[in-house]
Structure 1
C-alpha cells in the first residue's frame, strides 16, 4: 500500500504550538502517514516552506487559524496540491464553513479520509482572501483585538469588539458597481464574502458558500446600537435580502469607491484600501473536506446555515 506523504506546517513557537505539533505528528503517523515537518520562525515564512517541499508530498497540512491559511493561500494555489486544515486558531471560520472538525484527532482523520474538494478564492485588488473582506466596522474592530478578548470571549470576542467600535465608526458613502449597474450606499460596514463565516461565527449571507463561484456583499446601514444588538441573531444565521437595516447583493466581481481611501480588512489583516476591485477565483484551491460536508451540501451554494 502506498503511504500518504504529508507536509505538516504548525508554528511551534505559537501558544501551545509545540504540544499541538507533537500531537499532530503522532496522530498522523498512527494513521499511516509519512510526515515531513516544515520548519519556520514566523507565519510569513509558511509560503516559502510550501514552495520548498510541495513536490515531495501528496498533501499539505496547515495547522493554525484563518490568518495562517490566508498567508498560505497563494502558494497553495500555485503548487496545486490539496490542503488539509487542522483548526488551531481562535475563530476557525474557514474550517467552520467546510465542517472540518475542531478536535485535533478528528481533523487528522480528515487528512487521511477527507475528500478532495475544489473551492473558490477571493481577490481584493492584489490581496487574496478566503473568508471575507470588510470596510468600516470590521476594520475598527480589528484595532480592538486583544489576547484577553480571545481567551475570555472566544468566537464572541469579535462581536464584542464590533459593538465597542460602533461609537468610533463614522458612516461613509460608497459606490459599488457590478453586473453592469451601480448602487450608492450609506453604510457603517461593507463586507464582501467568498466564504460563509467571518469574525468567529458571523455569516456574510444566509446562503454563502466557498464553492458557488459567487461573492456575497452586504452593506450595514447606520443605526442605533440597540438595533445592531437586535440584528445579531440574524447576522449569526446569515443575512437575507428581506432583513431590515441591510442591503445584500451577489456577483462574481464588485468595484467599490469611497470618497476618501478606506482600509480593507481581509481575513483579519489590513493589507489594502479603496478604491478596490473584488473578484472570485472559482475552484482555485483543493481542500480536504469530510464526507458530511459533501452529504450536506454537495457542490455549489448551500441552502441553510451550517
Structure 2
C-alpha cells in the first residue's frame, strides 16, 4: 500500500486488557522498494529486537539471539517483553527506532501483533520462531531451528506478504471461532511448555463433550453460505496447528481460505480434524469444500468471540478482509515472492 501516510495513535483499552497502538491511514507517504529496503538492511545493518520472553522458548533463547545479532548488526533498540500486554508498545517503539529490520521472537500471537504494528510501514519484519506451533514461520518456509533462522536474517531477502484484517486488527495466519476459542482460553500455559503442539488437541478433546455447535452465515460477494459446525476457520496463512492446510495455499496468494471442520456432530468434528491433519497438506483447494475470497461478512447464531492468531479479539457479526502485500518480511532466498 505505497503512497499512504501512517499516523500512530495511542488508544486505551484496545489491546487484551491494555492500551494498544493503532495505525490510521491518512494520506500519501514514501515506501522504499523491496530491493532498496533489502540494500539498506545489508548496508546500514540497523536492527531492532523484540522478544516475548514468556513464549515457550523465548526466555531460554533471548540471550543467544541478542548475542548473535549484536555480533553481526547494529542493534538500535532491544525489548525483552515478559508481559504480553507490553508487546504493542515495544513493537511500536522498535518500528519508530530508525531500524530497517525489526526482528521479533515469539509464537504466532506475538508475530501477529508484530504484523499489525508493522503493516504498511517502511520496515521489514525478521522472524525468530520461538512459539508452540509457529504457523507463520512455517508458511514462510523459514527454518524452525534457531541457528538457521538467524542465518535467514542476515542472508535472506525482503518479500511482500498478505495480511488478514478483522475487528480493527491485522492477523498473519488465522481467525477462527467455535471450539478453538475455548481451547485458546483454557489450554494451560505450563502444558504448552511441556507438550508443545500436543497441548492443543488434548485440551480440545477435554472440552468437546460440553461444546455446543453454532450456525454460521457467510456472505462472499453475492453468495450466502449457511452451515452448522463446532469449528470455523478463516485463514490468510497456509498452516493450521503446525500442519499445511492445502498444498496450494500461501501467505502471498491474495486470498482468504474459509473452511469448517465437521458439522454439528461431535464425532464428525473429530473425524474431520483427523482427516484434515492427514490428507489436507496433499489435497488442493479445488478438491475440497473450502471457500476462497478477498472479503467475508460473517454472522453466527449465537454471536461468538473470535480467536485471532491465538488471541481472543472481537465478536461476530464481523467483516474479515484480505490486505494484499501488507507486510514486508525477511524470508529465504528461495521463497516464491509473487
Shorter chain as normaliser: what TM range?
Answer: 0.7 to 0.9
Q: SS of 2:303's equivalent? A: coil
**Equivalent residue pairs, number:** 291
Give the counterpart of 2:145 among 103, 106, 111: 103
Q: SS of 2:43's equivalent? A: coil
Task: Provide closer, same or farther for how the CA distance between residues 207 and 158 of structure 1 changes in structure 2, counting only shifts above 3 A.
Answer: farther
Task: Provide closer, same or farther for how the CA distance between residues 48 and 174 of structure 1 changes in structure 2, counting only shifts above 3 A.
Answer: same
How far apart are 1:83 and its partner, in Å?
A: 0.3
Q: SS of 1:101's equivalent? A: coil
Contact 2:295 2:321 in 1 (8 A): yes
Contact 1:116 1:286 in 2 (8 A): yes
Contact 2:124 2:327 in 1 (8 A): yes
Structure 1 Cα separation of the partners of residues 94 and 185 of structure 2: 35
Q: SS of 2:320's equivalent? A: strand
Q: Which residue of 1 aligns with 2:69?
A: 28
Pairing 1:49–2:87 present: no
Pairing 1:207–2:248 present: yes
Runs of 5+ consecutive residues of structure 2 not aligned to the other structure: 1-41
How far apart are 1:79 and its partner, in Å?
A: 3.0
Contact 1:141 1:164 in 2 (8 A): no
How far apart are 1:163 and its partner, in Å?
A: 2.6
Q: Which residue of 1 aligns with 2:160?
A: 118
Q: Which residue of 1 aligns with 2:19?
A: none
Give the counterpart of 2:196 among 142, 150, 154: 154
- Residue deviations 1:218-258 (CA, integer Å, cap 9, x gap): 02213343762465143353465645xxx410000111111
Q: Which residue of 1 aligns with 2:290?
A: 248
The TM-score with structure 2 as length reference comes to 0.78
- Residue deviations 1:158-217 (CA, integer Å, cap 9, x gap): 222223332122111111100211111111111000001133x14444422110110000
Q: SS of 1:192's equivalent? A: strand
Structure 1 Cα separation of the partners of residues 55 and 233 of structure 2: 29
Structure 1 Cα separation of the partners of residues 56 and 197 of structure 2: 17
Contact 1:7 1:35 in 2 (8 A): yes
Give the counterpart of 1:127 among 169, 178, 181: 169
Q: Which residue of 1 aligns with 2:17?
A: none
Contact 2:181 2:306 in 1 (8 A): yes
Give the counterpart of 1:187 among 229, 240, 249: 229
Q: Which residue of 2 aligns with 1:11?
A: 52
Structure 2 Cα separation of the partners of residues 92 and 65 of structure 1: 6
Runs of 5+ consecutive residues of structure 1 not aligned to the other structure: 301-306
